[in-house]
């Protein structure tokens, strides 16, 4: 069921948060080995939260469309009292004493955290197969990568274990696994979603965003996640929209821009499918036009240099003291990052 269907059944008291959480936990228990999505499952806590939310439902209180809905969080989002590993041996037993701001937002909206999901170690890699807790497996074909670094976030949704998850994206870490696992992943505007108490990879390029089964669910989740946070120096103090309000309107007359570089390196099958998407938009009355972005190669280089420099700064102590505990591929990536100079 999608979230609209779940929410309606909750309102009609034909489905309870407890029933939904029990069903979700059972599914995770039976099927998680197919993808290795979940690192930590919060069964006891999730059921207690579900019972509390069920009482509220019986009293006629509904916090949001996410009331009683299970959600999975990438395992570098701090959760008070729940293990948060960053996919690393170094943090395999780390339990934060604070919640990330977005965790507070989700809980206030009635979402139920059922577990923490796999990630490429320290979120520093695009493949999703470098974690102390083992590779995350693609839900459609276990011989293929999930993409990363938000591997478990996308795989858990793609496998139907949950409808909603939260990932992070610095250089593609929401969008790559979402593409690979057949889910909807969105990298929001920088600063729209708080990064407070989320382990950083690159201070000036990290984003937090939703991974879901449908576009509507993505918008509903972003409605909860977005908002100004005075405790995050990068947070935007702007008016928040209702991101689901325009879903379903006619696109006739809209202009859709396709950056020219997007079409330059596509494999044949992907190019064919991309072209079909453009045809659908045009058939619906939208105008599709190619857009040239000047200096894209220089922009790409600057992004890469910035990620490397900030990542090496964040992990300087780890590299000095704990290099043998880091995955070899991640270590080499961090080691190469140390070569970037400040003037660059």
pLDDT confidence bin for 150, thresholds 50/70/90: very high
The candidate with the shortest Cα–Cα distance to 165, out of 149, 182, 185, is 185
- Ranges of each domain in the chain: 3-225, 252-344
Q: Which two tokens stand for residue 220?
A: 């509903």
Dihedral angle sign, alpha carbons of residues 326, 328, 330, 336: positive
Over residues 119-132, mean pLDDT:
96
pLDDT confidence bin for 245, thresholds 50/70/90: very high
According to DSSP, the residues that pair with 164 across neighbouring strands are 71, 212
Q: So which residues are the catalytic ones?
A: 74, 149, 173
Residue 87 CB-half CA count within 13 A = 31
Is the separation of the CB atoms in 126 and 148 below 8 Å? Answer: yes
Q: Give tens-digit pLDDT for 249-288.
A: 999 999 999 998 888 888 999 999 999 999 999 999 999 9
DSSP H or E stretch at residue 305:
helix 296-314
Query: What whole-number distance in Å separates Cα of residue 118 and Cα of residue 75?
Result: 6
Q: Which two tokens stand for residue 59?
A: 């009293």
Q: Give tens-digit pLDDT for 279-314.
A: 999 999 999 999 999 999 999 999 999 999 999 999
Q: Give tens-digit pLDDT for 185-207.
A: 999 999 999 999 999 999 999 99
Is the separation of the CB atoms in 217 and 3 below 8 Å? Answer: yes
DSSP 341: -
The class of domain 3-225 in CATH terms is alpha beta
Q: Give tens-digit pLDDT for 21-42.
A: 999 999 999 999 999 999 999 9
Sorted by sequence, the CB contacts under 8 Å of residue 127 that are 6+ apart come out as: 120, 145, 146, 147, 148
Is the separation of the CB atoms in 72 and 167 below 8 Å? Answer: no
């Amino acid at each position: 069921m999608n979230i609209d269907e779940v929410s309606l059944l909750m309102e009609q008291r034909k489905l309870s948060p407890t029933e939904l959480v029990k069903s979700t936990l059972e599914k995770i228990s039976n099927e998680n080995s197919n993808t290795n999505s979940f690192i930590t499952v919060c069964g006891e806590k999730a059921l207690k939260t579900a019972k509390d939310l069920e009482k509220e439902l019986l009293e006629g209180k509904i916090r949001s469309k996410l009331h009683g809905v299970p959600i999975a969080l990438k395992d570098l989002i701090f959760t008070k009292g729940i293990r948060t590993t960053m996919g690393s041996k170094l943090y395999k037993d780390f339990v934060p004493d604070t919640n990330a701001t977005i965790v507070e937002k989700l809980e206030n909206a009635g979402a139920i955290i059922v577990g923490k999901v796999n990630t490429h170690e320290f979120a520093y890699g695009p493949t999703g197969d470098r974690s102390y807790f083992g590779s995350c497996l693609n839900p459609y074909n276990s011989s293929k990568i999930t993409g990363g670094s938000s591997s478990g976030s996308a795989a858990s949704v793609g496998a139907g274990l949950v409808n909603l998850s939260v990932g992070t994206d610095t250089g593609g870490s929401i969008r790559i696994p979402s593409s690979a696992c057949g889910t909807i992943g969105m990298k929001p505007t920088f600063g729209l979603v708080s990064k407070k108490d989320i382990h950083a990879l690159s201070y000036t390029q990290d984003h937090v965003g939703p991974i879901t089964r449908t576009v509507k669910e993505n918008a509903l989740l972003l409605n909860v996640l977005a908002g100004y946070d005075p405790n995050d120096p990068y947070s935007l103090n702007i008016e928040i929209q209702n991101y689901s309000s325009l879903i379903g309107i006619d696109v006739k007359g809209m202009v859709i821009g396709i950056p020219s570089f997007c079409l330059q390196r596509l494999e044949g099958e992907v190019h064919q499918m991309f072209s079909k998407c453009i045809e659908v938009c045009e058939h619906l009355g939208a105008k599709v036009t190619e857009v040239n972005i000047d200096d894209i190669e220089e922009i790409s280089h600057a992004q890469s240099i910035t990620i490397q420099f900030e990542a090496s700064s964040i992990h300087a102590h780890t590299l000095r003291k704990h290099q043998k505990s880091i995955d070899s591929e991640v270590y080499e990536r961090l080691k190469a990052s140390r070569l970037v100079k400040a003037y660059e």
